[in-house]
Structures are given as structure tokens and as C-alpha cells.
Structure 1
Amino acid sequence: MTHLRVGDLVIRNAELIPDSIALIEDEHSIAWRQLNTDTNRLANALAALGLSKGTRVATIIRNGAAAIETIFALSKAGLMSVPVNYGLTAAEIGVLLDDSQPAALIVDAEFIDRLHEVITRPGVRIVVRGNDSLVPGWLAYRDLIGNGAPHAPDVSIAPDDIRMIRYTSGTTAAPKGCLGTHRQILSSIDNFLAQIPVPTHGPFLQMLPLFSGAGIWMALAAARHGVGNVMLPEFNPQAALRKIEQHGVAHACGVPTMLSRLADELAQNSYATSSLQLVGYTGSKMPPRTIRRVLERFSCDFYQGFGGGEMGGLVSYLMPEDHRAALSNADAERRLASVGRPARYA
């Protein structure tokens, strides 16, 4: 069972592979050494605001380098991250903030006009990313990173400390806050890496939103494996396939509708996808016929992972060999309708 904390992933990679790429966003890349320093700066700057260990910090951030930076910085500072789905209505976001009661909120400037009323709360520090025109008393994200101390934060964090409160989607009832510890998510990821043949060379394409449990989980799995995250601000099949082609992506994971749209795009246009070695899908069932159509468009292995926030990660896998068998044997196709076999737990 792991004794690591989430922040240790960046620290370890900065020591072992300091100049390897950690994040790729548009044409800009960040190495593990720089990511370690930047997340130290942000963690220390947040602590300097008076945010102590165990304090809740909500984030409303689109996929990008900042979304990964905040995950690691909050973990290093011992703060509880509360990732919020920016696609929700202002009223729905207000409900989540009422329930979680964060002491600070990090938000992309593009969402402020729509959410100003619900994020402006007595005593809550507001950090804005991407806008120089701030409400008096609000803080600029880039200033925090620029002015924070670069050394490792002086805070004692145990593997069983709560690191995140992630809310369920609320499709059948009111959203519920699921608590996650450092040990819980890293143990789940270690089991994943022990069972699924994840490529050790080439980056991971982050197609899933980083407010979702699956997106956060996969981003940390890439860091645990020592490979970079290629960031996609929001999913569209053309952009995703261009990223695969441009950056030699070796591993990607999405929900079934994403994979179906990728297959549709490949049926109409040509992209160089030979770098892809493994594609995963999660989040909902995919009809066997659709899976076969996707498999036929990609010359790589596939896996399915089934899990949820309440479960602490992925709890069963439909393995690559199951997908290969379904392509070569019609009798094996019925396996594709299942969520595979229970994960092995160490």
C-alpha cells in the first residue's frame, strides 16, 4: 500500500526526470522541474494568505496547465480541493459552494460575469486566472505563482489526509461530496498501472474535464507513470486527433461518445495516429457494435475502466485481450457488453 502523497508525484519526477515534459498546452510546454517549482510557489502563496492545512479551496478552471498546477499545489499545501463543474448553472454552482463552504476560490476570468453573484461571498478569497482587471480585494493567479516562495511548503501531510471533495453529478439525487485521500487515489492508480499495459514512452492526451473524477484520476496516473499530459481545453474530435498527431500521443482515455466521435472523424479525414498504443474509455456503457466500429478505426489496444467517485476510482477492467478477442471471434463480442473483471487490489 502506497505511502506517497499526491504532491510527491511532481517532487519525484522533478528529481528523476527534471527536464522531461510534464505538461503541453497549445505550443507551450512545462518540464517537471518547472512544474515542481511553480506548484511550490502557488502552495506557499496560498499558505501566506492564511489558508492552513485542511482548509477548503474551490476551483472553477477550464482544462489547461493551471488545472494541473492547482491539483498539485493544493495537495502540497495540505488544502482540500473542491473542483467544480463550470458547465453547471450559476444556481447549481451556488449549491455546491454553500455545501462545501470554501475559504478561497480559484476561477477562470471567462466565468466571472456569469458567476459573479454566487462566488462573491463574505470572507472568501477570490483568485482570478487570466484577467488584469480585478475587483478590489481579488487576487491574480499569475501574481501568486510569481511571488510565492519556490521552496517545498513546510506542512506535514499524511497519506490518509483528505485531499479532495468531489461532487457527484446529481443525475438521480442532489450532488453528494465524495471525500478522497492521498492514499486512496494513489493506491487505485497503482493497481491500474499493475494491470493495464500503459505505455512508458509518449504523453497522455487529457480529453476528460479536470473537474471530473476520471479526468483528475487519469492526470495523476500519467504523473505517477512519469509521462506528460497533453492538454485539450475542451473536447472536439478534430482537435484531439491533431494533438495525437502533433505530439506523438501514446495513451488517451475518454467517455464512449468521445471515442465514437473520433471514429466518425477518422472515417472522413486522415490523421497520423500510429503513435497511439492504448485507448481507454469510462463513464458509461458503450454498445458492442459501437465499440467494434471504434476498434476498427484504430490500430491499437483498448481497455474499459468502470468506477466512480463513491468507489474511490476504477474497480473493474475490460482488458485489451478482451477487445482483441471480440474483433477476431464473434462469440467473444458479448464480452464488450460487460464492465470486465474486478480489479485486483494490493
Structure 2
Amino acid sequence: MKRPLTPLDFVRRAIKLYPERTAILHGDLRYSYRQWGERVWRLAHALRDAGIRPGDHVAVLSPNTHQGLLSYSAVPWIGAVLVPLNTRLTAPEYAFQLEFADVKLLLCDATLLERAREVAAALGIEVWIMGEGAATQVGGGQDFEARLQEAASDPLPFPLDLDEDSPITINFTSGTTSSPKGVMLTHRNAYMDGIGVLLYMNLTQDSVYLHTLPNFHVNGWGGVWAMQGVGAANVMLPAVRADTIYEAIGRHGVTHMCAAPTVLSMLTDPASARRVPPLLVATAGSPPHARIITDMDALGFTVLQVYGLSETSPLITVAELNAEQQALPIEERAPLIARQGFEMVNAGEVEVMDADMRPVPHDGSALGEIMVQSNHVMLGYYKNPQATAEAFAGGWFHTGDMASVHPDGRIEIKDRNKDVIISGGENISSVEVEGVLYRHPAVREAVVVAMPHDTWGEVGCAFVALHAGHAVTDEELTAFAREHLAGFKVPKRFEYLDDLPKTASGKFQKFVLRNTLWEGQVRGVN
């Protein structure tokens, strides 16, 4: 009989084939896959005992902990839909998302309870409290571990009646724009994405994966399930800092991780950088810059750039290199890795098309929008049919990312539609300008956005964070930029910040910076 495609098959396989291998490493805690499976079944039974039924929505609000990871297996196993929540939102934002997503139960880490307790109570949503200190805060809800201990531990059969095109999660977009939507990803979406993660990250049962990427962010790019597909070990990391990352790598022999480019900047900062044994790190979220890739390589990290969106499960392209390119010096390899590369073999068709939906020439300069037809593409936006219809106009999913295609077929993102700076009728790629600024030895992070200008309509403004102990002047950065860019592309203003605004997954929130420059004025590009 036909078997539904779902990442729950990864979970089933790990429990069956790797019972004594390490599933979870969390501080001093270790679970084998046999022990992990027992906890999956206990949570699944506990949810059923609490009245959660197929199609119901269960939210999880947690850093990267083993309890939070458990929800990604147990909730969908009983046919319910998981709603992962961003760990850095405010109480009003949680109130909106919990109510909008029709959540019936909230699994909340004790460290985040204060932000969600009153919100959940006002909405009549029961809370199960996870993590250290949960037992002392039962006034705010039920003790998660106590509920598990009260539940049965007998295995639940694989859900053969599952509809693979039904939602497995509703993921709210990450906040790089000001209007997050609920992205409905299906079991089939998540399965196909997981296969790509296993393939392109070369994961095996001997792999040790560090959860540096927030698991709520598009399901940790599939990492919440993919590792179980081969019985790999999951190292949980609730606090993502350079020191905790390096400590976990040394302690657990980490071989793989995923992180946004901002985390790579953190790791390569001279104040914290250390050499590591060979380690593959997949990066996405925003285009990484060649200098960061070069710096990571010098520390022992091999950087693999992947690309996608919440709406595409998310990974659809990979910066593949052939044998000849892999043999190049890192200075020549890094610019190739910094491009988004080629469509993944499991991702369907990824095309760059012009306004008339015709493929752009492969000349490295003609601009078009990245569009997708794929088993990775979402079911739609929850309770938002208009936005769903707009996203699928013409039978393709529209990413909103502007790119060119090089003669070898390699895709290179130039900008988001809204982030292109249109100065005197000329288009300026903020990504290109940022890439130049990153080459300056004093610059740790750089974000370039449009600011209003009386003559040219808008020009570039650069927000810069410097490496510890470094200083630089506007004049020095301007002169440096002029060595590599046409004059009209050089930022006309520099602002220096210790920390640039980011989402919890490490993406820069350009709209936050741009809004400070356009207050009281209307910009033509939204």
C-alpha cells in the first residue's frame, strides 16, 4: 500500500534501528534512541489523554532543549499540528500568534513562562511547563515531566492513514518584514526537505549535530527530524554564544551545525575565534559574504551555503562546487560559496524570471525574481487566502528575492525586492555594498538600507558593527568602498551600532533600520 511521506518515518527508523546509539546530548544528560523513543510515546499519549485530537494545534515556546525537540516528533505523531513560536517576541505578539493559530495547548519552557503565562490564561490555553524549574512554577500550568511520567510508554503505530499533504507545522515568518504570516508546511514538505539535509550535509549515524540554529525557525531547517533519519546525535544548545558553541564542539566532538551568517561573524570575531577539528556548517538566512567564509575556513569550518524561505520548507538551493572548484584556494572558492548555487536535486525547479515570467539570460547581470515549483513549497498561509493567491501567481511561488544567473547556471541573489536601493533611477544591490564593507578589517557586521535623499530619491545608508578594539572613520570607510564600487553605490551615511537588530534566527531586520530613516516619509518600495 502507499505510505505517506512524512519525517515521522525518520523518527520511527531511528528508534527501530539505533536503539542504543546516542540520540540526545544536553549538558550532562544523555538519551539513547531507545530512551528517546519512550519519551516520544509518553508525550504522544499525554497529549491524547489531555484531549488533543488530529488537526488540533499545539504550540511550543522553547530554546533549543531536549524537551522542546520532543514536541516535533510527538505532536504530529498523533495527527496534531505543531506551532513553533519565536523565543524573542513580546507578550502582545504571542497573544496574536496563539489566538490567530487557534492553539489549544502551549508547551512552554520555564525560562520563557513570564512572557506567555498571562497571555495563555486570557485565551483559555492550558500551559505545560518544560525545563529546569518547571516543578516550582506549576501555578502557571502543568509540569511537563509529571505529565510524561503519568502517561503510557507503549509505542504508537506508524500513522499510515496520515495525509501527507496535511500540515505538520504552522511556522510564522521570522520578522525580517513587519507582517509575519502563518506558513503551513506539510508532512510531504518536511520529508522532502529532510532528505535534502541528509544528502547535502553528508550526514551519517556517526554525525554529531549541534543545534545552534533556533529550532522554531522553519523547524531548525529540518534539523529537528533529519538527524533521526540516520541515527545521528543531537547536541542541544539553549544559549547560542561563541563561548557555548566552542565549548559544545570540544566537549561532544561536533561534526555538523547550521547557523545564520551573523553567527559565523560571532565565531570569527578575533575576541572569541578558535580553531576546531573539521566541521561542516550550513549557512542561510541572508547571503554570507566571502570574507566570513574565508575566515571560517581558516578556523577549520567548511561552509556550505544553502538558500530558501519559510514558505519553501525552507531549503531549495545549494552552493555546490565541482572537484576542480573544490581544489581552488579559499580566496577563489569563497566567492563561489557566497552565491546561492543550484537547485537541490529534491527541490523541483528553481528559476530566475523577469516581470513577464520568462527565464533571464545566464549572463550574471540580468535581474529577475527567484520562483519555485517544488514539493518543498508550502500548502499556503494560514487563514490568508489572498496572500496565498498572490504568492502563487502564474503557477509559481514568488520568493521576492532578486537574483542573476551566471553562465554556469549558478544563481546569485542581489537583493530582496524591498531592499534594492533605487537611486536616481539606478538600482543598487544592498548585498553587493555589504559584501565590500565586510572586507574592511574593522567591520564585524554591515547592513545597508535606503534612506531618503532630496536629489536622488534615495541613497544608501550603512549600519556597521565593528570588531572589538577596532575603530574606523566615515572617511576611511568611504574611501575603502570607492576602491571597489561605483560612486553612486557608496553609502552616503554611516551609523555605528554595537548590535544590529536581528531575528532570533540571526537574520538582520533591515526594515527596523530603514524605518528609522523614513519616519514621516513615504518610500516608493514597500
Closer, same or farther: CA 148–258 of 1 in aligned 2, 3 Å: same
Match of 1:58 in 2: 59
Structure 2 length as normaliser, TM-score? Answer: 0.61
Q: Paired residue for 2:220, among 215, 224, 231?
A: 215
1:260 positional shift: 2.1
Match of 2:229 among 224, 246, 262: 224
* TM alignment of 1:1-346, pairs within 5 A: 3-129=4-130, 130-134=133-137, 138-153=141-156, 156-213=161-218, 215=220, 217-264=222-269, 270=274, 273-274=276-277, 276-298=278-300, 300-319=301-320, 325=326, 328=329, 333-345=334-346
Partner Cα separation in structure 2 for residue 205 and residue 320 of structure 1: 24
- Compare relative contact order (CA 8 Å, sep 6+) and give the higher one, 1 or 2: 1
Amino acid of the structure 1 residue aligned with 2:250 = E
* Residues in 2 aligned to 1:326 and 1:256: alpha-carbon distance in whole angstroms: 24
Q: What is the total number of aligned residue pairs between the two structures? A: 342
Distance in 2 separating the partners of 1:33 and 1:251: 23
User: In the alignment, is the contact (CA less than 8 A) between 2:20 and 2:33 conserved in 1?
Assistant: yes
> How far did 1:332 drift?
5.0
Bigger Cα displacement from structure 2, 9-18 vs 65-74: 9-18
3-state secondary structure, aligned to 2:31: strand
Q: Distance in 2 between matches of 1:2 and 1:189?
A: 17
User: Cα distance, 1:171 vs. partner?
Assistant: 2.7
Displacement of 1:186 in angstroms is 1.1
Kindly provide the amino acid, as one letter, of the partner of residue 99 in structure 1. Answer: F
Q: For residue 211 of structure 1, what is the amino acid of its counterpart?
A: F
Question: Does the 8 Å CA contact 2:218/2:313 hold for their aligned counterparts?
Answer: no
Preserved CA contact (<8 Å) 2:318 2:342: yes
Q: Identity of counterpart residues, as a percentage?
A: 27
Q: Deviations over 1:266-299 (max 9, x none)?
A: x76655x22x34221111111112211111221x
Greater per-residue helix proportion = 1
Q: CA deviation at 1:193?
A: 2.7
Opposite residue 291 of structure 1, the aligned amino acid is I
Deviations 1:142-200 (A, max 9, x none): 11110111123366433333111000023324110111111211112213333443354
Q: Distance in 2 between matches of 1:329 and 1:104?
A: 49
Which protein is richer in strand relative to its size?
A: 2
- TM-score, scaled relative to structure 1: 0.90
Deviation at 1:117, TM superposition (A): 2.2
Instruction: Answer yes or no: is the 8 Å Cα contact 2:117–2:140 preserved in 1.
Output: no
The residue type paired with residue 295 of structure 2 is: R
For the pair shown, which has the larger CA radius of gyration, 1 or 2? 2
| Contact kept? 1:305, 1:317, Cα under 8 Å | yes
Distance change in 2, residues 1:200/1:17 (3 Å): closer
What CA distance in whole angstroms lies between the structure 1 residues aligned with 2:326 and 2:232? 29
| One-letter identity of the residue aligned with 2:16 | E
Q: Structure 1 residues 329 and 204 mapped into 2: Cα distance closer, same or farther (>3 Å)?
A: closer
Structure 2 stretches lacking a partner, 5+ long: 349-526
Amino acid in the other structure paired with 1:264: D
Q: What are the ranges of 5 or more consecutive residues in structure 1 without an aligned counterpart?
A: none
Compared with structure 1, are the counterparts of its residues 24 and 333 closer, same or farther at alpha carbon in structure 2 (3 Å cutoff)? Answer: closer
Between 1:212-221 and 1:19-28, the stretch displaced more is 212-221
Matches of 2:102 and 2:19, distance apart in 1: 37
Are the aligned partners of 2:264 and 2:292 in contact in 1 as well (CA < 8 Å)?
no
- Alpha-carbon contact 1:7-1:73 (below 8 Å) kept: no
SS, match of residue 307 in structure 2: strand
SS at match of 1:132: helix
Q: CA deviation at 1:241?
A: 1.1
Structure 1 residues 171 and 202, CA gap change in structure 2 (3 angstroms): closer
**Deviation digits for residues 211-241 of structure 1, max 9, x if unmatched?**
1115151232211232011011121111111
Q: CA deviation at 1:18?
A: 0.2
Matched position secondary structure for 2:83: strand
The amino acid across from 2:229 in the alignment is R
